[in-house]
Structure 1
Amino acid sequence: MSFVLKAAVGEPAQRASNPAVVDTVAAVIADVRANGDDAVRKYSEKFDGWSPESFRLSEDQVAEIVKSVPETVLDDLRFAQRQIRNFAQAQRDSIQDIEVETLPGVFLGHRNVPIDAAAAYVPGGRYPLTASAHMTVLTAKVAGVERVAATTPPNAGEAPPISVAAMHLAGADEIFVLGGVQAIAALALGTDTIDPVSILTGPGNAFVAEAKRQLFGEVGIDLFAGPTETLIVADDHADPFTIAVDLLSQAEHGPDSPCVLITTSEAVGRATLDHIEALLPGLVTNAIAGPAWRDHGQVHIVDTLAEAYTLADKFASEHVQILTEDPRQALTSMRNYGALFLGEGTCVPYGDKLIGTNHVLPTLGAANYTGGLWVGKFLKTLTYQEVRNLDTSAQLGEICGRVSRLEKFEGHARSGDLRAAKFGNAPLAWGDIPTRVTSDR
């Protein structure tokens, strides 16, 4: 018999932004649109107390900052980036240009062309998310993006060394120490000193997420961001202590982060609850993880794994961890998730930090219709067509004329009529084809 052992008591996150956030972000964007660099500097001073001579770091500044980072830290960053680069390159290699002949002399195709310029926002402050540099900057460069501008907020009046090092090692062409809405607006709209980009990527706080939402359409974005989500599917073979540790690993992302366990074993569910209560007091991030688990933690007991997978699909969670005897069954049993983590040897933090897959993933139910950030997001799939066989063009022209008139598009019909007449035997009912004129110029 299925039942809920622990229910969420807090209000779920909403797709709509707080009206105060919407208004604040709209005002900053409008100011940057009208006043460019002056507005950017004004808000950087107001929100971050940061007003250097240039927000963009010079090559010498970058080199000096990277030099200050311990070599062991740089080695770890390089290791993580090798894993992400290898997988991103395998993804890029799987994307092929195509051309097919669909009728005699009719060639249709597509080419995968990189976006010209991308922005990568790397969150900073007390929690510099260096992994976001790997996921955004590096993935864009593997896709072939010519210009990647990376930006991160200052930390206590300084450029954050580890974030700068991560952006540099990932291949950023430009590195800015600039945060918040002012950074997003400047990179989307352009100023006298900051060139605009074509896509905005990377996570951020509610203001950054809202800025991306408001600017979407003028530029592309990776995803609409929400709180980090995690869900575990477990059977009676799963270790409750491992489940507890792994749920709390994601609860510390934020006090509104949903953490869900779906299990076929009531004993596993109850033991997991006991372990979480024992672990939380000693967790350094208890002030965040505690409210997340209290308000948004859930434990569901179901009768079968089939029910577990069906329920998990309804959640469409960002991260789904499978702790069952046969974890790969989830590959064919589930379809709505940001990323799957199969088996006890695999934890969500591996995906967050270094295993190679991208950690920019859909939240708030978006996994029902999209996957996460990958090299394909930085590519435009552009189609083309060519009709070399003029007999086929005449045939297409006759049919084009008829179907266009069904829709009352006379101009479209005449383009088809012209080719039916020029290259075939169809009469041109609405005019005569002029004699071809050659120019002496």
Structure 2
Amino acid sequence: MSIKIIKKPNSEIKSENNSQIREKVSDILLQIQKNGDEALLEFCRKFDNYQSENLRISSKQIQDAYKHIDSEYIKALETAAYRIKKFALYQKEAIKPLEIELSAGVTVGHRIIPVSSSGSYVPGGRYPLPSSALMSIIPAKVAGVERVIACSPPDKSIGTIHPATLVAMDMAGADEIYCMGGAHAIGALAFGTKSIAPVDIVVGPGNQWVTEAKRQVSGSVGIDFIAGPSEVLIIADKTANPAFIAADLLAQSEHDPNARGILISLDENLIQEVLEYLKTYLNDLPTQSVAKRSWENNGTIYFADNIIEAVELSNKIAPEHLELQVSDVNLLIPKLYNYGSLFIGPWSAEVFGDYVSGTNHILPTMKAARYTGGVWVGTFLKVASYQQISPEGAEELAPIASELAELEGLFAHKLASDLRK
């Protein structure tokens, strides 16, 4: 491969799973298991300065939140919610139950069963993230989950969940909402306390403490996946719009200092044009401090001689978001298989997927796209098989099962088969 690296990252992204965080998270989770609500409230006070004794958000608080959000923002959230729900409904329709008579007297099939309860973790931070509430709650409700819990840490300026996040949680259909964040919130969702019943699966992005907590509770409860810093990779040729590319790279970079913006260009002139636009946009960007640091530390630009090299590199990187800004996208798509979500053509900006196109933005990072997709309605559905066998069917199957059971030294299995011959 003759790929040239035009811009290297200035630093390696360190694994967030270091031993110190592991130990601290382990202790937090143990305290939640042992002391329940007492420990949960103590951690909420310690880490989030949350002073209320009641973590559950009341219906009055939810209704008041609507009064504190501009009507245009509410309309935007309603539109996004509608599109996310519509796509999730179409996805659910594609997941069909199955039943077939495999041979005489042997009927097999599967049922589609929603999990009973789910927990949606919605991050806090510098700004509210209501879009993450929509993305994690709506697919669960469409799947048929009876009890969907949502939680988010308090906004430091108001001491409780930001009104925009609360409105989004309510709009999405959350059944219970709690003001709590961090590893202790994940512990409460996974193990339960006296006031909060545990859930079957926890989904949603979070910081390094949330990520490590999800890693540690996995198995006791289902999780979507372990997520790291957000990523975008753009494959572009000479027909691409350099202004679009620069804006999309910065849109990714402004998430946080560890976010990764990656360009694989098939044209050297395009690279220079993109760099010029990056410089121009950064001058006036309100989030310049984060975006510039992220781009300088983690931004990467490759030059590829041909499209095959670009595709091979992209599949190796397995990005969270993959944009195609090339003249013949149909040539690339069948060859690309490692990505969280694909954005086809110059007008398919990654930002649309973040908010309103209808697809989900909770996606695999750190090469996890090699083995999983993002959160979707199927995340909350179990495909459970069954069989119904008649005496005629058992007569055919029993001798085979008996032979295999004897081969494996499982003689009660053999007996159970032989009795049905």
User: Normalising TM by the smaller chain, what interval?
Assistant: over 0.9
Partner residue, 1:61:
61
Q: Which runs of 5+ in 2 are unaligned?
A: none
CA distance in 1, matches of 2:245, 2:70: 34
1:20 matches 2:20: yes
Task: Please report how far the alpha carbon of residue 202 of structure 1 lies from its aligned counterpart in structure 2 after TM superposition.
Answer: 0.7
Partner residue, 2:261:
259
Aligned 8 A contact 1:119 1:199 in 2: yes
Q: What is the percentage of aligned positions where both structures have the same residue?
A: 40
Decide which of 189, 192, 195 is 1:193's aligned counterpart: 195
CA distance in 1, matches of 2:5, 2:77: 42
Task: Please report how far the alpha carbon of residue 235 of structure 1 lies from its aligned counterpart in structure 2 after TM superposition.
Answer: 0.6
Partner residue, 1:386:
388
Aligned alpha-carbon RMSD (Å):
1.3
* Helix, strand or coil at the partner of 1:419: coil
Partner residue, 1:223:
225
CA distance in 2, matches of 1:229, 1:29: 29
Amino acid aligned to 1:125: G
CA distance in 1, matches of 2:5, 2:181: 42
Decide which of 310, 313, 318 is 1:311's aligned counterpart: 313
1:42 matches 2:42: yes
Equivalenced residue count is 418
Partner residue, 2:137:
137
CA distance in 1, matches of 2:252, 2:181: 24
Amino acid aligned to 2:402: G
Decide which of 242, 246, 249 is 2:248's aligned counterpart: 246
Partner residue, 1:437:
none
Partner residue, 1:280:
282
Once structures 1 and 2 are overlaid, which stretch shifts more, 211-220 or 150-159? 150-159
Aligned 8 A contact 1:13 1:256 in 2: no
Amino acid aligned to 2:65: I
Aligned 8 A contact 2:41 2:53 in 1: no
* Helix, strand or coil at the partner of 2:46: helix
Decide which of 343, 366, 378 is 1:376's aligned counterpart: 378
Aligned 8 A contact 2:91 2:377 in 1: yes
Once structures 1 and 2 are overlaid, which stretch shifts more, 230-239 or 179-188? 179-188
Decide which of 233, 236, 246 is 2:235's aligned counterpart: 233
Partner residue, 2:335:
333
Partner residue, 1:349:
351
Moved >3 Å (runs of 4+): none
Partner residue, 2:208:
206
CA distance in 2, matches of 1:128, 1:223: 22
Aligned 8 A contact 1:235 1:324 in 2: yes
Partner residue, 2:409:
408
Aligned 8 A contact 1:57 1:175 in 2: yes
Give the TM-score normalised by structure 1: 0.92
Once structures 1 and 2 are overlaid, which stretch shifts more, 155-164 or 312-321? 155-164
Give the TM-score normalised by structure 2: 0.97
Q: Which has the larger radius of gyration?
A: 1
CA distance in 2, matches of 1:13, 1:85: 36
Aligned 8 A contact 1:13 1:227 in 2: no
Task: Please report how far the alpha carbon of residue 327 of structure 1 lies from its aligned counterpart in structure 2 after TM superposition.
Answer: 2.4
Give per-residue Cα distances to partners, 1:152-171, cap 9 Å, x unaligned: 11112133100000000000
Amino acid aligned to 1:55: L
Give per-residue Cα distances to partners, 1:255-311, cap 9 Å, x unaligned: 111211111101111221222233223222122111221121111111111221121
